[in-house]
Structure 1
Amino acid sequence: MNVPRYLLRHRITIESYRGDSAYGQRYGPPVANVPALVAETIRTVRDREGREVTSTAQIIAAPGLDCPAESRITLPDGRTTRAISVAHHTAPGLPVPQCTEVSAE
């Protein structure tokens, strides 16, 4: 069971991080109108290297979202941010929704 789409009221744009090159960070093409639920609250999270950092936006989206850490995200208010960490929540066999949670700068 996936998170119900009617709960994903916001629309975001994601440019998936594809790695570094000689010219800087590389991103995939922008994917616009991704359904999500965005909470702009300040929270302390750990980045992919284990350091404590501050997240100013948390995003809930459908499972299978292609948004690795370092991806660029444009929030509904137009602010562009960066994904700090990504968690895929699954519960096989349980009646709870699966989703992807992204913590952003």
Structure 2
Amino acid sequence: MVTRVPEVLLRHRVRIEPHLGESAYGPRFGPAVEVTALVDASPRVARAPDGRELIRAATFIAAPDISCPPGSRITLPDGRSTTAITVTQHTAPGLPVPACTEVVCE
């Protein structure tokens, strides 16, 4: 039974700087972590958590245990820097489908 997305499908490297919150000087970020992912860099319309519609720069899937809260800084494989707007954990306990994390970037 498949419990997580197979590593062989994650063909790209993405750098994540997890959003830790706001300070008096602006957003705070944790140390950068590089993860393997499968990136779809085609622009599409997405809805932000506050309801705004915006054009997403990319979406990627990665292992189910990555730390990437909304607001995290993302560096895509082509070097572009973007921000995570929604992060979704996909699981299906008991079913033969892989668990993963999907991140939609602004």
Compute the displacement of 1:37 (Å): 0.4
TM superposition outliers: structure 1 runs of 4+ over 3 Å: none
User: 2:63 & 2:13 partners in 1: Cα distance?
Assistant: 12
What's the counterpart of residue 41 of structure 2?
40
Q: Percent identity?
A: 59
Unaligned runs of 5+ residues in structure 1 are none
Compute the displacement of 1:65 (Å): 1.4
Equivalent position amino acid for 1:60 in 2: I
User: 1:7 & 1:66 partners in 2: Cα distance?
Assistant: 19
TM-score in terms of structure 1 length: 0.95
User: 2:97 & 2:77 partners in 1: Cα distance?
Assistant: 27
- 1:18·1:28 contact (CA, 8 Å) conserved in 2? yes
Compute the displacement of 1:12 (Å): 0.8
User: 2:44 & 2:87 partners in 1: Cα distance?
Assistant: 14
What's the counterpart of residue 33 of structure 2?
31
User: 1:11 & 1:80 partners in 2: Cα distance?
Assistant: 13
Q: Secondary structure at the match of 2:88?
A: strand
What's the counterpart of residue 21 of structure 1?
23
Q: Secondary structure at the match of 1:6?
A: helix
TM-score in terms of structure 2 length: 0.94
- 2:64 is equivalent to residue 63 of structure 1: yes
After the TM superposition, which residues 2-13 of structure 1 pair with which residues of structure 2 at under 5 Å, given as runs?
2-13=4-15
User: 2:69 & 2:50 partners in 1: Cα distance?
Assistant: 14
Equivalent position amino acid for 1:97 in 2: P
- 2:83 is equivalent to residue 75 of structure 1: no
Aligned length: 104
